[in-house]
Structure 1
Amino acid sequence: MAQSPTSSAVKALQLELKKLNEEPVEGFQVKLTNDDNLFEWEVAIFGPPSTLYEGGYFKAHMKFPHDYPYSPPTVRFLTRMWHPNVYENGDVCISILHPPVDDPQSGELPSERWNPTQNVRTILLSIISLLNEPNTFSPANVDASVMFRKWRESRGKDKEYENIIRKQVQATKEDADKDGVKVPTTLQEYCIKTPSKSTEQNIEVDYYDYGDDIDDEDEDDIYVDDDDDSGNEES
């Protein structure tokens, strides 16, 4: 027998969708896949500037459980993705989407897994960060992980991984044109500006979450050669 949605899940999703539409966050857009189904969302993720994914338009499907936010949603890329933490079928493998169960074998800390304080915003910003900083210790795509490590350790001289990503980014432009979406390609376009609460003063402030982490750095700084992957994601 199918589980019925809880009233708290419906209310939580209604509030999140309303807030994300009224106060957009840089890097992604969301909408319902079907206006009659609050539990399935269509997501558009934009590749961050100054990364291999710059200019990319990546479509994904987010499905919420009926007891959300006590259990995490699932996220599956509809756009073809070659990435260490994305399975061949498009499923995203990231700690924040793993249920809050005690599993010492996973190597994940409980604090890295899902908890009810997380939301769509934190999930999608984590995925955007994951694009450029994958976790390669427990990858969903082993071949992509090996290729990424070669690219990083060679400081970009081994172009195999880079060439695949750039081809995939280029291929997404047709979808963007078809959907009538202008993909941000500069930091100024990427980072959304929203009005401050003092509307009577008509002052605008920069609303940054991910953009603060993207600097105009030189090319050498892009290829970080260290042994510690910054992502906390596990498959």
Structure 2
Amino acid sequence: MGLARPSSQKALMLEMKSLQEEPVEGFKITLVDEADLYNWEVAIFGPPNTHYEGGYFKARIKFPIDYPYSPPAFRFLTKMWHPNIYENGDVCISILHPPVDDPQSGELPSERWNPTQNVRKQVLATKAEAERDGVKVPTTLAEYCVRTRAPAPDEGSDLFYDYYYDDDDVEGEDGDCCYDEDDSGNEES
């Protein structure tokens, strides 16, 4: 009599199959080791026409043995800066926190992981919500990358810096601070 497989193994097999048949744009999902369904390698490609264009960001998803009752752990292997990504690559986001009631965290239980979620279900749920709100979700790169008014030829990306920190104003003639005004309130010096 063989050992029974955990139900998480079947769930992960189905999710991996689903992702292979219908890949998510901008992502490549593979197993770290073909014999281990609990460790996935994720490659995220920087979208064209963004600051991340040409980027190749690697991450790992580690699923617990009792998945989907407990959330997976997500860690970036590629160094990157983001308010929700720690120095070691761990991701801090409510949806990946265990479904416990913790009033001290400031998170509602509904914002945390629950067993009905899976890798793809969240995207589908947001589509239904967008329809309810009458929002057309961008599906093409042209729709996604909304362009603002193009800067005039003499404007550059350092417009803010150039305007407030013009090289001529940084230092006075004596090399002192650039302020011409006397902050003491006296007109005479």
User: What is the TM-score when the length of structure 1 is the normalising length?
Assistant: 0.51
Change (3 A) 1:35 1:210: farther
Change (3 A) 1:209 1:218: closer
Match of 2:81 in 1: 82
Change (3 A) 1:122 1:58: farther
Match of 1:218 in 2: 148
Question: How far apart, in 2, do the equivalents of 1:209 and 1:22 lie?
Answer: 22
Contact 1:49 1:214 survives alignment (8 Å): no
Match of 1:113 in 2: 112
Match of 1:68 in 2: 67
Change (3 A) 1:209 1:68: farther
Question: How far apart, in 2, do the equivalents of 1:15 and 1:9 lie?
Answer: 10
Question: How far apart, in 2, do the equivalents of 1:42 and 1:25 lie?
Answer: 14
Q: How many residues align?
A: 134
Contact 2:48 2:54 survives alignment (8 Å): yes
Change (3 A) 1:17 1:49: same
Query: What is the SS of the residue equivalent to 1:120?
Result: coil
Q: Where do 5+ consecutive residues of structure 2 fail to align? A: 124-135, 151-189
Question: How far apart, in 1, do the equivalents of 2:118 and 2:79 lie?
Answer: 25
Question: How far apart, in 2, do the equivalents of 1:17 and 1:209 lie?
Answer: 25
Change (3 A) 1:80 1:116: same
Question: How far apart, in 2, do the equivalents of 1:6 and 1:73 lie?
Answer: 19
Q: Which protein has the bigger helix share?
A: 1
Compute the displacement of 1:43 (Å). Answer: 0.5
Contact 2:43 2:56 survives alignment (8 Å): yes
The 5 A counterparts of 1:95-106 are: 95-106=94-105
Question: How far apart, in 2, do the equivalents of 1:210 and 1:91 lie?
Answer: 29
Compute the displacement of 1:51 (Å). Answer: 3.8
Question: How far apart, in 2, do the equivalents of 1:58 and 1:90 lie?
Answer: 11
Compute the displacement of 1:219 (Å). Answer: 6.0
Per-residue CA deviation, residues 139-191 of structure 1 (Å, 9 max, x unaligned), is: xxxxxxxxxxxxxxxxxxxxxxxxxxxxxxxxxxxxxxxxxxxxxxxxxxxxx
Contact 2:6 2:65 survives alignment (8 Å): no
Change (3 A) 1:42 1:8: same
Q: Which has the higher contact order (CA 8 A, sep 6+)?
A: 1
Question: How far apart, in 2, do the equivalents of 1:114 and 1:75 lie?
Answer: 13
Matched, 1:29 2:28: yes
Query: What is the SS of the residue equivalent to 1:91?
Result: coil
Change (3 A) 1:120 1:88: same
Query: What is the SS of the residue equivalent to 1:20?
Result: helix
Question: How far apart, in 1, do the equivalents of 2:49 and 2:4 lie?
Answer: 41
Question: How far apart, in 1, do the equivalents of 2:5 and 2:77 lie?
Answer: 28
Question: How far apart, in 1, do the equivalents of 2:137 and 2:16 lie?
Answer: 18
The 5 A counterparts of 1:121-160 are: 121=120
Query: Which letter does structure 1 place at the counterpart of 2:148?
Result: D
User: What is the TM-score when the length of structure 2 is the normalising length?
Assistant: 0.62
Match of 1:40 in 2: 39
Contact 1:100 1:113 survives alignment (8 Å): yes
